[in-house]
Amino acid sequence: MLRALGILCLGLAGAFGLHLVVSNAVPPYPALIVNMCGISIILAISLNVINGLTGQFSLGHAGFMAIGAYVSAYFTTTLRYFDPDAARYISEAPLFDGLWGFPPALLAGGIAAALAGLIVGIPTLRLKGDYLAIATLGFGEIVSILLSNFRAVGGTKGLTSIPGYADTFWIYGSAATCLILTGFLQRSTFGRALIAVRENELAAEVMGINAARMKITAFVYGAFFAGVAGGLFGHLMLTISPANFGYMKSVEVVVMLVLGGLGSSTGAVVGALILTVLPEALRDVERQVELSGFRMALYALLLVVMMLFRPQGIFGQRELSLKLLRRLLPSRDKPGRQP
């Protein structure tokens, strides 16, 4: 446990280091992209637990993200002590104000999304494959429609003037925590049980693994971090609206996973990085060829080429680790093939 806490602290320290670099030496626009990368990383790793490890096809990740974003933004902007007798707010400032209010607000967003994950997890017990994809897609759309029609959170205009609490430290601290905890999950009896459900559900059940419970666990876990990512997104962009969390957002995260290698957390990180940076990097190319829309066409072409030549994704199901690196690099002390 001490070692685990040490690794987590190391992750947070790394995030802080990155924060120092980004806040001091990186201009605002690239810094925004760096921060968006962190949020994409959290989304991709958490979706990988559902789609990659457990083998459920969820297209509802943007829905969980939206719930987290709205709940945490509601906490930091609107929620105040209310005096019912005088029918007025007691305090002027929101209840979760300032930097100390931010982590609880993020956590609340994550927990709200996890509860939604619990609710969405239940139909997965009866639905498989394409059918589950459609059901989760429907869930995402329902969330976005509900938010559009909910006056208290701004309707289609959404919430505005959210405080910009989400800096590089919070974003990459959350990403590191998500990556480390998911790594621990993968290499535990629960991770093996999730993979067993993916590989062969009947055999898993006959071995006494409760497939229903494992699937719901995956949904709750994945939804929690999607909610946290949503909360970070809101406090980074300063405004959120239902349009930010349409089904294309869910599809984008699925594409990150498939590109990186479905089932690999480190693959998810790489996929998230590529698919967040690439559209921005291609902006310059587009400017040079002076052909509007060229950027997205090239982006799509790259994905098609990737799927043709490496359909299992960059990493396949492998994880990037020191052991793998050592194996890939030629080592000199290995016995050669000379007679």
Tell me the per-residue interface mask from 182 to 201 with other proteins, x by CB under 8 A, - otherwise.
Answer: --xx--xxxxxx-xx--xx-
Please report whether residue 207 would count as binding other proteins according to CB under 8 A.
yes
CB of 216 within 8 A of CB of 26? Answer: no
Nearer to other proteins, 8 or 243 (CB): 8
Nearer to other proteins, 159 or 214 (CB): 214
Residues linked to residue 82 through DSSP beta bridges, in sequence order: 89
Go through the chain and tell me how many residues it has: 339
DSSP E strands, the chain: 82-83, 88-89
Nearer to other proteins, 207 or 301 (CB): 207
Nearer to other proteins, 31 or 115 (CB): 115
Judged by CB under 8 A, the chain residues 143 through 182 that form the site for other proteins are 181
How far apart are CB 187 and other proteins at their closest, in Å? 9
Please report whether residue 288 would count as binding other proteins according to CB under 8 A.
no
- Alpha-carbon dihedral sign for residues 180, 173, 251, 274: negative
Nearer to other proteins, 152 or 206 (CB): 206
First and final CA of the chain: distance in angstroms? Answer: 49
Please report whether residue 205 would count as binding other proteins according to CB under 8 A.
yes
Please report whether residue 209 would count as binding other proteins according to CB under 8 A.
yes
> What does the DSSP 8-state code read for residue 51?
I
Which residue, among 158, 168, 139, has the nearest Cα to 74 in the 3D structure? 158
Residues that bind other proteins (rule: CB under 8 A) add up to a total of 30
How far apart are CB 78 and other proteins at their closest, in Å? 32
CB atoms within 10 A of CB 338: 4
Please report whether residue 328 would count as binding other proteins according to CB under 8 A.
no
Candidates 27, 28, 208, 293: give the one binding other proteins (CB under 8 A).
208
How far apart are CB 184 and other proteins at their closest, in Å? 5
Judged by CB under 8 A, the chain residues 10 through 49 that form the site for other proteins are none
Nearer to other proteins, 7 or 127 (CB): 7
Distances (CA, A) of 193 to 40, 187, 217: 26, 10, 11
Nearer to other proteins, 291 or 324 (CB): 324
- Alpha carbons within 13 A on the beta-carbon side of 83: 7
Judged by CB under 8 A, the chain residues 216 through 275 that form the site for other proteins are 217, 263
Render 254-265 in DSSP notation, one character per residue. HHHHHHH-TT-H
Burial class of 60 by CB neighbour count within 10 A (0 to 12, 13 to 18, 19+):
buried
DSSP E strands, 65-166: 82-83, 88-89
**Chain contacts with other proteins (rule: CB under 8 A):** 1, 3-5, 181, 184-185, 188-193, 195-196, 199-200, 202-211, 217, 263, 317
